[in-house]
Every structure is written in structure tokens, then in C-alpha cells.
Structure 1
Amino acid sequence: MSSTEAASARQTEDSSGKMSLPTLTAMVVGGMVGAGVFSLPARFGVATGILGSLIAWAIAGAGMLMLAFVFQNLAIRKPDLDSGVFIYAKAGFGDYAGFNSAIGFWASAIAGNTFYWVFITATLGAFFPAFGDGDTVLAAAVGSAGVWLFHTLIAQGVRDAAVINRIVTVFKILPILVFVVVLFASFDSGVFADNWTAYGYGDLGNLNEQVRSTMIITTFVFLGIEGASVYSRYAKKRSDVGKATVLGFLSVLSIFALVTLSSYSVMPQPDIAGTRQPSMVGLFEHVVGDWGEWFISAAVIISVLGAYLAWTLMAAEVMFIPARNEDFPAFLGRENENGTPITALVVSSLAVQGLLAATLILTDALNFMLDLCTSLALIPYLLAAAYALKLGLTGEAYEDVTSGVRRRETIIAGVATAYTLFLFDAAGLKFLLLCTIILAPLTLLYVKARSEQGRRIFSPTELALFVVILAGAVFGVFGLWSGSITI
């Protein structure tokens, strides 16, 4: 079967061959519950106590819930925009904005997938010192083997891999729930009271500083909230896309908050902060003994492999769809006989392979990849929220609804936009400049795609945006060369 025939078959298949609400929800949960949840205790322990963590989860929960509602509302108001999260930027702000949204999302997935392999090999490092903290030659070699193993699996068919992700999601959630139950069963009221503000353990800064320092990790663990939107073209019912986004988000928020609070109930804040990553391993071992290290370590590997699968699927889709829409070069739109976007998959696997090699020279590969992944993901999030705000303010797509509905959804979009801007500020100038270093050269893909179609490359506004990105890249490269930016 040719790629054209495969695409035609996929478009005409009946609903029994498409993703149901539970499967879409599992894609959202599977995308979010990955390595991040297992690193939460120490990342929060370094930054804050219980009070600060509660405020941080309230802010992150409210902000990301508004973003979840944005994706739900966009699915309803613009049902024809079913090509994934990047399409909202294109519809609202033009082709070049759409390109940056798509390539930013893709680059975020690549950095996140590299983080996953570093995290897995760092977990193995607790048992086999040759893996170190996931940044040794052996770690890079094992990660590379994993990249191409999953590449082969996904090449067999997108929907088959999605079903595997649904099964893996169940098996990785259960150990996390066991962790929460066991730690709360071992609740120490004295430790919990001392951890309330954690001021007695040293200077963590004021409450505002504590909360701000947790924002990157809270954002990272929620990445994947747009998972159902990316796979909207496979949904049985278009309305399921929004439902899956909100259901997946609320489920994951509950899990993350419980993991954090249960950790503060059994160990003093300084000890939590000093726990080796993945820190859930050390905490569980502290409570139950040696078998806890093996139990949670196994859960880490299963969970991260499932998340890697989901994010590799997303990375390939986010290159394939724009190529089919003539926003990326045509070669990225090729499929194999299984209907898998094979060229996009190859490029994505090669990119992860390249970053795995870079981990050998990075100072702190684990946290660097985490922060870079999060910063890049903010680009499509901001543009999607801004597009929803634009629709609400102009009234487009609200002709047949009451003014109250329009007002409510406009407020939601405004809060989501403000929240993503706040996250850019929390990420800091360093990662903003690193993002431009990535976006500037990748603009060559946009130029090639426009040239293939014989279309004007930039409008005046788009040219101005490119100049800003290029200037940021120049400053970023200079900062790396001078040492003012360290990686």
C-alpha cells in the first residue's frame, strides 16, 4: 500500500478503528506522568516547605487548568482545526508564528525525550555505578540503543504504539499510588509540622521566592496536557478531545499534589532536598527498607518508557502534519507502508541521539534537559492561549452562543495567557536565549517549505519577528562563548 493509499484508508476508517475517550485520556496521562513525578520530592524539598508547595500547586493547578480549558474551548469553537496544538498559532497569528509553535513543540519533545533516557540511566546508576548520573559513555550508549528500539516499534504503526501506551499507563500509576498510601500510613506529625514552612532548616528565601523556584518543575510535570489535541484526528468523537484533556489534567494534578505532601510527612525538608534523583526511590526506601528501592526504580523505568513512547509519537506528528499542510518541507510528510510518518520519526530519533551525545559535556545534563524542555514548550502554550483570547475579544466563533459564555471563555483565555507569560519570566533569560538559539537555525525549514510552494517567505511583521529571534540567538551564542551563560 502506498503512503497515499494508507492516508486515504486512515481517513475513511470507521469509528471502531479510532481512539476512544479512555484512550485519549490515557495519552494525556501517559504524556504527563513520566519522569517528573519521581523527581518531585527533592525538587520541592530544595525550594520550599509544605506551605510553599501548597501555594505552588494551587497556582500551577489553576494556571494549567485554565490552559486545559483553553484547549477544550478551542476544540469546540474551532473543530476544523484538528491538526494539533500548533495549528492555533497559525490560525491566529500567521504562518511563521505557526511554524515557531510547531518547531518549538517538537524541540521541547526532543529535549524531554533526551531527559527521559538520562533519567532512566541515572536510576540504574544507583545499582550500577558505571551509569553515574546518566551522563557517562555507558549511559549514552544504553540510551542510544533505547532510542532506536522504540523507533522500530513506532515504525510498525502509530495506533499500535498508542494502545501499548494505554496499557503502560495503568502499570505506572499503580506504584505511585502505593507510594502515596504507604507514606501517609507512616505519617509523622512532628516531621510534618516542622516541614510546614521549613524556616527552621535554613534560608529558603521568602514565600514568594520559594514558590517561584518551583514553577519550572510544576510546568514540566504538566507537559503533555495538549496530548489529546495532538491526536484529535484519530478521535472517535471531536468532543472527546476536550473531555480527555480536562479529565487527564485533573487526574494528574491529584497524583502530583499527593506525592509532594506525602513526602513531607516522613522526612525533614533538608533530607528530602539531599535525596538522590529520582528522589521518590530514596523516600520509599527510607520508609519500607531495601525492597522499596527496587520497587520504585522499576516503576520509574516503566513510567519513563511509557512517557517516551507518547512523546516520540507527538514529536513525529508535529513534524508530519505541518509538512502535509505545506508549512514544513515536503520530505517530512512521507509515510511508510504502516501509515507511520517515517521521515519525521527518523529526524526526531536522530535529534534525540544528538542530544544524548551532548550530555557527555553538559555540567548537569538531567536538570538542563528538563529546564530546556519546559522553556520550549511554553512557546506553543502561549500562542494557543493568546489565540483563544483573540477569539474571545473579537467575537469570532462566538456568533451562536450567549454573551456570558463568550465572557467566561475570554477570561479563561486571559488568565492562561498571563500564566504562560509568568512562566517565561520564571524560566529566566538564560533559557529564553537558548530557545532562540534553537529556533533561529531551524527557520531554514520554514524558508525551504515556502520556497517549495513559491510563496513569499516573510511578511513585514514576520520578518520583524525573525529579526528578534535572530538577535536573541546572537546574544545567546555570545553568552555561551563568553561564559556568561553556562550549560
Structure 2
Amino acid sequence: MEDNKLVEDNELSENNKLGLFSLIALVIGSMIGGGAFSLPGDMAKGASAGAIIIGWLITGIGMIALAFVYQNLSMKRPDLNGGIYSYAKAGFGDYMGFNSAWGYWLSALIGNVSYLVMMFGAVGYFFPVFGKGNNLASVVCASIMLWLIQGLILKGVKQAAIVNVITTIAKLVPIFLFVIIAIIMFKVNIFTLDFWGGSTPSLGGVVAQVKSTMLVTLWVFIGIEGAVVVSGRAKRRSDVGKATVIGLVGTLVIYILITLLSLGIMNRARLSGLDTPSMAYVLESVVGKWGAIVINLGLVISLLGATLGWTLLAAEIPYIAAKDGMFPKVFAKENKNGSAVNSLWITNILVEISLILTLFSSSTYQILYSIASGAILIPYFLSALFGLKFELMSKEENGRTKNIIIASVATIYTAWLVYAAGLKYVLLETILFAIGIVAFTIASKENNSNKKKNYIFLSYEKVIALIFLVAGIVAVVMLATGKLSIS
């Protein structure tokens, strides 16, 4: 009987594994949320066409380098199934691994609140009762959507991934329609008008414009690590790296086309003044009202898919970390379908609380979101840095120099992203990491009870924790006294 049960469990586990197409859809679905539909206006606000091209070139090089780092690590370190969390832990110790998982988790769950608010704000285009997505009707419907998604994931990651594939395809249809029509309607004379922004002094020089452009691209690629995070659920390890690179390159091409083609339909000044989602109004200007309707429908579907994808990722990281002894044990429980049941419940309860906060205090929610959104950049930097460290210490000569160069580019780029997010946000994020000290202490005590250790932090980790604690307290005091703001 025991042997039969073991076979059944193995078959169930195999049935819940994700193939290449599902992994690609998870990467694309996680990256393409609401930001893609606002790119034309967001980019045009701070840069001309020439600067935007340079910005995309730099971003493309940096993100492709990061994707190759993930691909390389997924092949050479198949034992690290937690992706960005595992890389930080393997490279820089338990506490930094925990902080990587902690920051990523809170970023993901609060980001989901943003997706839900944006989703019903988009629905408000068709049904004004939902307003901008943060009134009572929106919160009630968003809550229903949240728990329906939870129910789907609890039935198994494979089932949720299938739905994610469907929503990813559905969101790409209006985007491809936009691209095709934009190619047909593209006007070179509009695109080349004030190409470097010289006649618009308020934009500043080319360098300032490029920085403005890259501050927009900073956020639209979050989700590149989607396949890496769920690598433990992949049918084939090699698919993880392939999905990351294919998903990244495909998304990059889509973003570049959306941005540059829009500049050939409307001049920069008009684009910068469009409401969100600006893509809808660009298409409406050439085909009429139905263009805006199609894009807004695409936005709703896109945000639904992004919410599903990020709910999967948000639950997966603490689940993997708990199984590894880095998060409290409560997060490690699975249900009979192999879903991270407790991690999912805890994550979505916190999402629900944050969602309700939008009813009473949009500023409180904005503070939470601003703190968490920047924290996700830390795991990216630690992943790239580990990739560089791994190659420098590797004795394998084949391709080593190339991999070191790629990892160096990814490390420099991700370090710049942390800097570009702003020192103010780095200070705010120390609040998040200071709170994490409690969770790390609980997890360490649970884990150390089996290993007979008499310490929680290593010497250098005590210094890091103290810095987080002091800086976090300072940040809270500065917020309370108005000396630090998120505006």
C-alpha cells in the first residue's frame, strides 16, 4: 500500500510540473501588466525619440545580461530551486538570503494590490461605478477576484499556469493589433520631429532624458525572474533558462515597438498629455472609439493575468524559503495538490488588508507600495552579484570569460537600478528589512533547534541587522515628522 501511495504521489507531483510554454507565459505574464499599456505617455513625458532609443538600448543590454545570468545559474546550480532567494543565500549567507526572499515577497504581495486597483480602474472605463479602482465597489469586487484566484491556485499550480497561459495570449492580442495598425499609420516626419528634444528645454539634455526613460523601464521588467522562482516545479531544468531569455527578449521587442511606433503617430508633446492608459488613446486617434475599447479590454485581461502570475510568485518564495529553514515553518505546508497552502493564505490575507487600506487612506497604501516596490531590486542585484562571484570562483574554463563579462554587465546594471530608484527609497526600505529581523529570528530558532546552534546571526550579519534596525527607526521618525516623504 505504501509503495502504491508513493507512486501516486510521484505521479501527482509530475502532473503539476510546468513545461516550457507555461514557463514562458509566466515570465511574459508577470512582466506585462498595466505598465505596457501606459508606456507611450510615460516615456514621452521625460524624453524625445532619440533619448528613448538610447534608453531602450541600455536597458536591453542590462536586462538581457541578467536573463543570461539566470539561464547560466539555472543550468550550473540546479540545486538552487528558489531562484533569486537561493542565489542570495548561496552567495552571501542565510541572512542576506532571507532578506532577498523577504523583500521580494512583500514587494510581490503589495504589487498585487496595485494590480487589483488598476484592474478595476480600467473596468471603470466601461462601468463608472468603479471609479478609479479604490472605492467600495472596486474593493469588494477586487476581493472576490483575489479569493477566486486563490481557489484556482489551491487546485494546483499546473491548473493556475494553464489559465495564466490563456490570459497571456489574450493580453497579447490587443497589443499585436496596436503594433500592426501603428506600423501602417507610422509617419517618419512625426517620429523625427525634435528627435533629440532640443526645442523643448524643459526636457534637459540627452543624458537627463535617457535617465528619465530608464526610470520608466526600471519597473516594466519586474517579473523577469518568474521562471527562476518556480524552477523547482519545472519539468526540465533546461526550460527555466530558455523561458527566461525567450520571455525577456519577446517582451523587450514588444515594449520597444509600442514606444517607438507611438512616436510616429503622435508627437511627443501630445503623447505626454494623454490619460492612462495612453496606448488606448493613441489607437483611438487613428481608428476611432473602438480602438480605446479594445485596449482597455486588453488592459483588464493583462492585469488579471499579472495578478494571477504574481500571486503564484508571491506565495512560492516564502514557501521555498520556509522549506529551506529561512522562513517560519508555517509557510512550508502544502495541500494535496502540491500548492503552498499556508503561504498562499498568509500572502492573500495581507493583500486583502492592504486593499482595504486603499478605502481609508490612499497615502498609507502609497507609502507601503513605495517601500516595497523598490525592495525587489535588491534580489536582482544580489542574483547578478552571485552570478559574477560564481564564475570568478569557477574552475571551468569553457565560456568562463564570456560569463564573467555578462555577469559584470548585469551586476553594474542592477546596481544602477538600485541607485536610480533613489536613496530616499533605500532608506524607506530599511523599515521593511528591520521588521524582517523578527521573522528571521523566529525561523532561525525553529531551524537551530534541530542543528543545536547557539547563535542566530553571524558576526557580520549582526552589523547588517543593526544598520537595518537603526536606519528603519530613523526612517519611521522622519516619516512621522514629515522630514521624509514619498512625493
TM range, smaller chain = over 0.9
Q: Distance in 1 between matches of 2:252 and 2:60?
A: 7
**Which residue of 1 is the match for residue 139 of structure 2?**
140
**How do residues 39-438 of structure 1 correspond to structure 2 at under 5 angstroms?**
39-194=38-193, 196-360=195-359, 361-363=361-363, 372=371, 374-395=373-394, 399=395, 401-402=396-397, 405-438=399-432
| Alpha-carbon contact 2:55-2:214 (below 8 Å) kept | yes
- Measure how far apart 1:22 and its partner are: 1.7
Identity of aligned residues (%): 40
The farther-off stretch of 216-225 and 251-260 is 216-225
TM-score (norm 2): 0.92
Deviation at 1:452, TM superposition (A): 1.3
CA shift, 1:36, in A, is 1.6
* Alignment RMSD (CA, Å): 2.3
Find the aligned partners of 2:102 and 2:121 in 1 and give their Cα distance.
Answer: 28
Q: Distance in 2 between matches of 1:371 and 1:183?
A: 34
In 1, the alpha carbon distance for the partners of 2:6 and 2:248 equals: 31
Change (3 A) 1:208 1:300: same
The residue identity in structure 1 corresponding to 2:440 is: Y
Deviations 1:443-482 (A, max 9, x none): 2111111111234211111111111212221222122112
Q: Per the alignment, in what secondary structure is the counterpart of residue 114 of structure 1?
A: helix
Unpaired runs of 5+ residues, structure 1, are none
Measured after TM superposition, the shift of residue 115 of structure 1 is 1.5
In structure 2, relative to structure 1, the CA distance for the partners of 1:377 and 1:27 (3 Å cut) is same
Name the amino acid aligned to 2:400. R
Deviations for 1:281-340, whole angstroms, at most 9, x for unmatched residues? Answer: 121112211111211111011111111111100111101111111111111111223221
Return closer, same or farther for 1:107/1:280 CA change in 2, 3 Å cut-off.
same
With over 3 angstroms needed to count, the CA separation of the structure-2 counterparts of 1:198 and 1:119, relative to structure 1, is farther
1:364 and 1:181 map into 2 onto residues whose CA distance is: 41
Q: How far, CA to CA, are the matches of 1:55 and 1:364 in structure 2?
A: 36
Give TM-score scaled by structure 1 length: 0.92
What is the identity, as a one-letter code, of the residue corresponding to 2:410?
A
List alignment gaps of at least 5 residues for structure 2.
none
More deviation in 15-24 or 26-35?
15-24
Q: Is the 8 A contact 1:114 1:369 kept in 2?
A: no
In structure 2, relative to structure 1, the CA distance for the partners of 1:52 and 1:405 (3 Å cut) is: same
Residue by residue over 1:238-296, the C-alpha shift from the partner in whole angstroms, topping out at 9 and shown as x without a partner, is 11111111111111100000000111111121221121112211211122111112111
SS of the residue 2:202 aligns to: coil
Q: Distance in 2 between matches of 1:364 and 1:200?
A: 40
Pick closer, same or farther for the CA change 1:233–1:78 going to 2, 3 Å.
same
Query: Against the structure 1 CA distance between its residues 481 and 371, is the aligned structure 2 distance closer, same or farther, given a 3 Å change threshold?
Result: closer
Contact 1:120-1:134 at 8 Å conserved across structures: yes
**Distance in 2, Cα, partners of 1:105 & 1:374:** 9
Q: Separation in 2 of the partners of 1:94 and 1:319?
A: 17
Offset from partner CA, 1:389-413 (integer Å, 9 cap, x none)? 1112222xxx3x32x5112111211
CA 1:461–1:191: 2 relative to 1, 3 Å: same
Partner in structure 1 of residue 19 of structure 2 = 20
User: 1:369 and 1:196 mapped to 2: Cα distance?
Assistant: 38
Question: How has the CA–CA distance of structure 1 residues 333 and 417 changed in structure 2, closer, same or farther, with 3 Å as cutoff?
Answer: same
User: Aligned in 2, Cα 1:7/1:335: closer, same or farther, shift over 3 Å?
Assistant: farther
Residues in 2 aligned to 1:202 and 1:268: alpha-carbon distance in whole angstroms = 16
Contact 1:225 1:249 in 2 (8 A): yes
AA aligned opposite 1:443? I
Residue 151 of structure 2 aligns with an amino acid whose one-letter code is T
Letter in 1 for 2:445: S
Aligned letter for 1:203?
S
Q: Report the CA distance shift for 1:83/1:266 in structure 2 as closer, same or farther (over 3 A).
A: same
**Is the 2:354–2:365 Cα contact (8 Å) retained in structure 1?**
no
Task: Give the aligned residue type for 1:284.
Answer: L
Q: Report the Cα offset of residue 121 of structure 1.
A: 2.0
Q: In the TM superposition, what is the alpha-carbon distance from 1:130 to its structure 2 partner?
A: 4.1
Partner SS, residue 39 of structure 1: helix
Provide the aligned length of Structure 1 versus Structure 2.
478
Deviates more, 1:182-191 or 1:219-228: 182-191
SS in 2 for 1:359: helix
CA distance in 1, matches of 2:371, 2:473: 18
Deviation of 1:231 (Å):
1.6
Q: 1:25 to 1:144 in 2, by over 3 A?
A: same
Structure 2 CA distance for aligned equivalents of residues 9 and 426 of structure 1: 50
